[in-house]
Chains A and B, each alone.
Chain A
């Protein structure tokens, strides 16, 4: 009896260090066998639910086909990928509360965000524009003063408009579908978001020709995958995954699948963009 009690106590004490020490993300994934990613459900073609009810997208493909093989090799086992929905307002809390391990959607890499989370390499470059009804007098950020503009709560675009054009009447919605609905019903005159997301929304609209994406990029939005701070091992794995995809050409194949001429949202890769991506790949 007494010996059994000692054995149980010893076993409990052996577990204590594991409970007390903060786990790194790789350890967490290794233990659970699952990589949980936060991604969007209404942002075509990065992450959305298509008409066959499948949760697909460019960001999701990058995780499943580029990051996953490197992760599997590092941990020496097949890691399952689980997807959870995230939005601009919820993605950082989801990450810091350990509910997800990686945010793979349309998150802009900014200096102030880097104070809360770490970012991977940039995997897409775009800027903010406006989605308007064809024929609208709005031509860009210079013509929105005093007008009703929809934006997403918690996005960088809303913040910039608030600072640059304080007279614009911003109406902030929790998600993209609600904002687009308001635009479709003429309750707002324009919807601002990153240009590529607007192109995706337009492509998926019932009558794409009714809409136009206008304006010069009024902000620079490099997309990166976000993860918890001080987790350089996991960040290295994600970066190596992206770098390998760029150097082997897998990235460009995926880019063509979603943004090529036959893709969901045609958006050709400009030469500077391609060069920028290639230069991010540091030698082995």
Chain B
């Protein structure tokens, strides 16, 4: 049931809005995975980030795409929680200091999704932060990559969605947006070194674009 609702929502609402209202310049779309298990590691500027990636990935994978999202934010009321789970297919995780039990594995749900062969979207910055500014990456992605060295981690650099719908805004303002897909990385080193390598890759991709000042 929710799979049908999800497909309807993406075909009737999300796609027309994103393709007509916003518009994208996607570089190296062929580097996006056609099936899981895979980890997408995009920078995070806007609530639109996850839906954009879910639209760019193959449509038949839609119900197997799982954005990792903060439980305290997305499960804060019943309506939002239903939407986040049923339509967006999120994997809720407890942020540091949240309701997590001591010693519990914070990435257990993400690991299970990868074992099921799903495509996980994990924002390494952890939060949207200041729109169109790259924040320091959290270590979670490094641990995950180390745990699954055969699963590709695909960095994605996006620009423009933070201008279209930044944190704290409810009304989107159309801008053409850029999506640069990077080459897959594999977790062959320890988690710190991996996060460093991913950060370097992301900064290099950010440097490939020419973006007008927005402040």
A and B are interacting partners: no
